[in-house]
């Protein structure tokens, strides 16, 4: 647990969450959501939860982004908000 | 003011940020119009809750929950002090949240499949347009 | 607009209550908090028992793996079943609930679906690179499953990585290539086999007159020195089952979502 590292990642987390929810292009939103997942993974590794960090790296930053992109490409990429 | 800052804000800084992330997710689930955006918001809400749980198991200056072989053999030989519980992070929240993440992505897949069916039937993923079309269908009948 | 005002009010009230409630939490990183050490004068936290006794009970140094597959075996068994059910639900939603008389059955947005079809030769560099990477990913995933006792990893992580390696084949080449290696019949079969392996390993101790998921009873069957090593091997069997199910379901979800359930074309 390193407090400075903690604070930096948490600030980036909030920024990534806000960006991924405010972009109008859904593909960009999915990519920023992948970044969000990777930041969460870093935060978990920093808290000592290595197994959870490993799972998040494969699932949150990898598979869930791919699934969202697959759906977006099969539906519509533009969003009104 | 200073004591409030020292006793309430500094030790709970992390938890406050988690609440902020949680509220960002909740706001988007209610207010966003696009269904994919709602799902991303829901996932952000979920990660905030997972963070809250794992944070409860953090110990200041503790290491990861893997026992090193030397200490483990010593404790098997009868040395009770070989493993110091205060120096190893609490593993129970990790276990609970690990399975929750994988189940979370499987249920996200179900939600995305529902989105595709909605798009196929209504030609849009915007909530208000879907509601309008449902209303028009009911008026026809 | 109305939804946004309502959302802002709801979020403000909920957020204020939560921010106030959080100040009553134990301090972040406090080793003496109730979750870490138990209540003062009451019973100690279960986590202390796990930290002190897991190695003695199971010979597994990674506490998370041991708790996941042994102490909390029921929990993980049904989490795996939830994943399996989610995969089956996607089949049901995309295949069975197809409403052919929908008012408008639009094709995907042409701008978004500007993508190449099977057998495209323009992506040869990506294709060859991923073809080299896939076996390495799979070997590493098997290592993660098998070495989960001693390092971070285990069935869930290794399973997701194995599934991701097939997704990589589908993304870099075509879904047809991936389905030729891991067809629909085989991934449904493998997902069921994974759960059967888990439930079977958990059920075996009942035959020897012990409790469900008490792998120590497999001592005679596995020919190990003591019950501890039998538990360690039982955990490995369980992780293998989890890995099979998670791998199959992850690939099944991707294959169905990327083709709207038709398993033709794809990204």
Query: Helical H runs in A1-81?
Result: 3-22, 26-47, 50-58, 64-74
Cβ pair B77, C225 in contact under 8 A: no
pLDDT per position as a tens digit, A19-75: 999 999 999 999 999 999 999 999 999 888 999 999 999 998 889 999 999 999 888
Contact between A54 and C148 under an 8 Å Cβ cutoff? The reply is no
Q: Estimate to the nearest angstrom the gap between the alpha carbon of C254 and the chain centroid.
A: 14
Residue closest to C65 by CA, chosen among B74, B72, A62, B99 = B99
Asked whether residue C19 is domain-assigned, the answer is no
The answer to whether residue C135 is domain-embedded is yes
Inside any domain, residue C171: yes
Q: Look-up: residue for tokens 């995907």?
A: C108
A81: three-class secondary structure by DSSP: coil
Looking at residue C107, its pLDDT comes to 55
In a domain, C3, yes or no: no
Q: Is A72 within 8 Å of B36 when comparing Cβ atoms?
A: yes
pLDDT averaged over 10-residue windows placed end to end, chain C, 267 residues? 88 93 86 84 84 86 90 90 93 76 50 49 78 93 91 90 92 85 91 94 89 85 84 91 94 90 74
What's the 3-state SS for chain C?
A: CHHHHHHHHHHHHHHHHHHHHHCCCCCCCCCCCHHHHCCCCCCCCHHHHHHHHHHHHHCCCEHHHHHHHHHCHHHHHHHHHHHHHHHHHHHHHHHHCCCCCCCCCCCCCCCCCCCCCCCCCCCHHHHHHHHHHHHHHHHHHHHHHHCCCCCCCCHHHHHHHHHHHHHHHHHHCCHHHHHHHCCHHHHHHHHHHHHHHHHHHHHHHHHCCCCCCCHHHHHHHHCCCCHHHHHHHHHHHHHHHHHHHHHHHHHHHHHHHHCCCCCCCCC
Q: Which of B53, B95, B131, B140 to mutate to test the interface with C (most CBs of C within 10 A)?
A: B95
CB pairs under 8 A between A and B: 129
Residue contact A63–C163, C-beta within 8 A: yes
pLDDT at position C114, please? 46
What pLDDT, on a 0 to 100 scale, did the predictor assign at position C104? 45
Residue B141 has pLDDT above 80, yes or no: no
Is B8 a residue whose pLDDT tops 80?
no
Closest to C156 (Cα-Cα) out of B107, B69, B101, B21: B101
Q: How far does the CA of residue C251 sit from the closest CA of chain A (Å)?
A: 10
Cα separation values, B60 from A49, A63, B88, Å: 13, 32, 10
In chain B, what are the domains? 2-56+90-140 (1.10.287.3510)
Helix (H, G, I), strand (E, B) or coil at A1: coil
- Report residue C267 as tokens: 């990204």
| A1 vs A24 pLDDT, higher one | A24
Which residues on B lie below 8 Å from C14 (Cβ)? 23, 26
What letter would DSSP give residue B34?
B
CB proximity under 8 Å: B 27-56 to A: 28, 32-34, 36-37, 39-41, 43-44, 47, 50-51, 54-55
Lowest mean pLDDT among B130-134, B136-140, C119-123, C256-260: C119-123
pLDDT in tens, B75-128: 888 777 788 888 888 999 999 999 899 999 999 999 999 999 999 888 888 988
Pairwise CA distance, residues A71 & C254, whole Å:
9
pLDDT tens readout for residues B23-59: 999 999 999 999 999 999 999 999 999 999 998 888 8
The pLDDT value recorded for residue C23 is 86
Q: Where are the domains of chain A?
A: 3-74
Q: What is the pLDDT of residues C145-170, one digit of tens each?
A: 999 888 888 889 999 999 999 999 98
Per-residue pLDDT at C266: 66
Q: How far apart are CA C155 and CA C147, in angstroms?
A: 10
State the Cα angle at C56 between C52 and C58, rounded to 5°: 115
Partners of A71 on chain C (C-beta within 8 Å) are 257
Mean pLDDT over the full length of chain B: 88
Among B19, A63, B118, which residue's Cα sits nearest to residue C18? B19
Domain count, chain C: 1
Task: Domain of residue C168: give its range.
Answer: 60-94+120-267
In angstroms, the separation between the Cα of residue C186 and the nearest Cα of chain A is 21
Question: Is the Cβ of C3 closer than 8 Å to some Cβ of chain A?
Answer: no
Q: In chain B, helix, strand, coil percent, each to 5? A: 75, 5, 20
Could you give the ipTM of this predicted complex? 0.92
- Within a domain: C33: no
């Amino acid at each position: 647990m390193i407090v400075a590292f903690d604070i930096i990642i948490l600030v980036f987390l909030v920024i990534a969450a806000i960006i991924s929810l405010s972009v109008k292009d859904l593909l960009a939103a999915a990519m920023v959501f992948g970044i969000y997942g990777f930041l969460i993974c870093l935060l978990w590794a920093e808290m000592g939860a290595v197994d959870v960090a490993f799972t998040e790296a494969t699932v949150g930053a990898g598979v869930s982004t791919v699934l969202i992109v697959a759906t977006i490409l099969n539906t519509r990429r533009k969003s009104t908000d | 003011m200073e004591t409030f800052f020292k006793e309430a804000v500094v030790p709970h800084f992390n938890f406050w940020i988690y609440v902020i992330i949680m509220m960002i997710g909740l706001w988007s689930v209610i207010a966003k119009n696009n269904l994919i955006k709602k799902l991303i918001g829901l996932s952000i809400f979920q990660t905030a809750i997972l963070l809250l749980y794992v944070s409860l198991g953090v110990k200041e200056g503790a290491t990861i929950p893997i026992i090193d072989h030397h200490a483990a053999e010593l404790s098997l030989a009868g040395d009770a002090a070989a493993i110091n519980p205060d120096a190893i992070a609490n593993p129970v929240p990790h276990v609970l949240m690990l399975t929750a993440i994988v189940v979370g992505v499987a249920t996200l897949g179900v939600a995305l499949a529902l989105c595709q069916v909605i798009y196929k039937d209504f030609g849009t993923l915007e909530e208000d347009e879907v509601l309008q079309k449902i209303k028009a269908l009911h008026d026809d009948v | 607009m109305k939804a946004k005002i309502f959302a802002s009010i709801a979020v403000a009230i909920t957020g204020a209550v939560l921010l106030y409630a959080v100040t009553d939490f134990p301090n972040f990183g406090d080793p003496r908090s109730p979750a870490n050490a138990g209540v003062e004068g009451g019973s100690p936290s279960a986590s202390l028992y796990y930290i002190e006794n897991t190695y003695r009970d199971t010979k597994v140094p990674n506490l998370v793996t041991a708790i996941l597959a042994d102490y909390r075996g029921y929990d993980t068994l049904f989490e795996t079943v939830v994943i399996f059910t989610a995969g089956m639900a996607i089949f049901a939603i995309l295949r069975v609930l197809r409403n052919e008389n929908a008012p408008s059955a639009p094709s995907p947005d042409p701008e978004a679906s500007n993508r190449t079809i099977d057998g495209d030769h323009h992506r040869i560099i990506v294709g060859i690179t991923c073809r080299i990477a896939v076996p390495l990913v799979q070997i590493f995933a098997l290592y993660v499953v098998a070495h989960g006792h001693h390092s971070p990893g285990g069935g869930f992580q290794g399973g997701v990585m194995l599934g991701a390696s097939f997704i990589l084949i589908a993304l870099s080449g075509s879904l047809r290539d991936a389905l030729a290696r891991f067809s629909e019949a085989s991934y449904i079969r493998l997902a069921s086999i994974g759960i059967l392996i888990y439930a079977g390993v958990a059920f075996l101790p009942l035959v020897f007159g012990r409790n469900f998921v008490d792998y120590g009873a497999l001592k005679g069957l596995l020919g190990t020195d003591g019950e501890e090593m039998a538990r360690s091997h039982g955990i490995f069997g369980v992780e293998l089952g989890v890995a099979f199910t998670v791998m199959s379901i992850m690939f099944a979800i991707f294959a169905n979502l990327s083709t709207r359930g038709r398993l033709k074309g794809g990204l």
